[in-house]
Amino acid sequence: MSWNVGQVVNLPVEEDEDDTRLDRWLKRKFHGLTQGQIEKAVRKGEVRIDGARAKSNTRVKAGQIVRVPPMAAPHGSGGDDEDERPRSRVKTSDADMIRSLVIYEDDRIIALNKPQGLAVQGGTGTTRHIDALSRALVDDTAEKPRLVHRLDRDTTGVLVLAKSAGVANQLGKLFRSRELDKIYWAVTLGVPHPQDGEIRGYMIKSAGPGGDKEKMRTAAQSEKGSVHAVTFYSVVQNAGRKAAWVALKPETGRTHQLRFHMAEVGCAIVGDRKYTCDREVPSGLADGLHLHARALRLPAAKGGKPIEIIADLPEHMKKTFDVLGFDERSTQNFFDFRRMRRPR
């Protein structure tokens, strides 16, 4: 669909669009619209939901009516969802690479074992990323797979993409809720004490002169912009007091949450250059961030069974496991979180 310049339109939100962010909904409806255009129209109160002003991050609900003002998409532009671009635009080598990462697929989702160093989405100076390369995972007539959640560039492991907007919305709700299980494996400097526990508190993006705006810091509950984060953890094995293999379950999904929390308890994740501690790094460990999204369990659909997806460890973590004497086979039940969470 393209903008009808000079005419206000009122569009209903469909069932499979329920709980979508307004800015993403607009980009899907009107191909080529930019974030800047949306922010300007929202700020001026020209975009309304059921007659009320809204923000770009407002989540639209099925049955609501969205008033869209006349705006023209920039010539030659493309929004977030440039699904019309043919798969041939992905280089053959990149297409082969992204296909090799697939560890699970059905008629609704595709799951990848994301490697270290590959960004999930584009940004300043980043043009090679999973969001763009995912076109190669489907044929030319299919909708481009949609990201459901995120992993940091250097975090490895399970990453889920949806095959349609409706599935993306459903899974997005699950990831924001506590209705699915995620487990990460990390190698930490030192051993968390006690060996099983929880870390909770408020955090916020750093700001101010010299502050890294992409780094989280501790915050007070009353501080504007602060968010609450909860992580459950369990030490699986340890190498004396030098290092530990830790299973992590994030109850909330905040930016850099696991990395921040482990550094906060004085046991930073091996290879993390942003969130550090003053412990010495044991000799012989592999380079790279030692944080891996090991397993994900999605709740059962009607009449089905839960989907359990497990991602093999990356080579750099396998090497470190060997150096520290950790036995990956010593734990098989990835979804036994009884020690890692309170009863719901």
We report the CATH number of the domain holding residue 22 as 3.10.290.10
Catalytic residues, by residue number, are 152
Whether residue 171 is found in the same domain as residue 250 = no
pLDDT tens readout for residues 110-165: 999 999 999 998 777 777 899 999 999 998 778 889 999 999 999 999 999 999 88
The CATH code of the domain that includes 143 is: 3.30.2350.10
In terms of DSSP H, where are the helices of 162-291? 165-176, 257-264
Whether residue 130 is found in the same domain as residue 246 = no
Q: Is 55 domain-assigned?
A: yes
Q: Is 343 domain-assigned?
A: no
Whether residue 154 is found in the same domain as residue 246 = no
Whether residue 167 is found in the same domain as residue 263 = no
Contact 299, 171 (CB under 8 A): no
Full domain range(s) for residue 151: 87-176
Name the residue type at position 41. A
Overall number of domains in the chain: 3
Whether residue 326 is found in the same domain as residue 218 = yes
Whether residue 161 is found in the same domain as residue 196 = no
Whether residue 198 is found in the same domain as residue 321 = yes
Whether the pLDDT of residue 4 is over 50: the answer is: no
pLDDT band of 341, cuts 50, 70, 90 = very low
Whether residue 217 is found in the same domain as residue 325 = yes
Q: Is 50 domain-assigned?
A: yes
Determine the pLDDT at residue 289: 98
Q: What is the mean pLDDT of residues 59-67?
A: 90
Q: What long-range pairs does 36-41 form, CB within 8 A, spacing at least 24?
A: 37/71, 37/73, 41/69, 41/71
Q: What is the mean pLDDT of residues 62-68?
A: 90
Whether residue 56 is found in the same domain as residue 98 = no
Q: Is 338 domain-assigned?
A: no
Q: Is 340 domain-assigned?
A: no
Whether residue 215 is found in the same domain as residue 265 = yes
Determine the pLDDT at residue 327: 92
Coil vs helix vs strand at 340: coil
Determine the pLDDT at residue 281: 96
Determine the pLDDT at residue 66: 92
Whether residue 19 is found in the same domain as residue 136 = no
Contact 16, 29 (CB under 8 A): no
**Regarding predicted confidence, which is higher, 188 or 21?**
188
Whether residue 31 is found in the same domain as residue 48 = yes
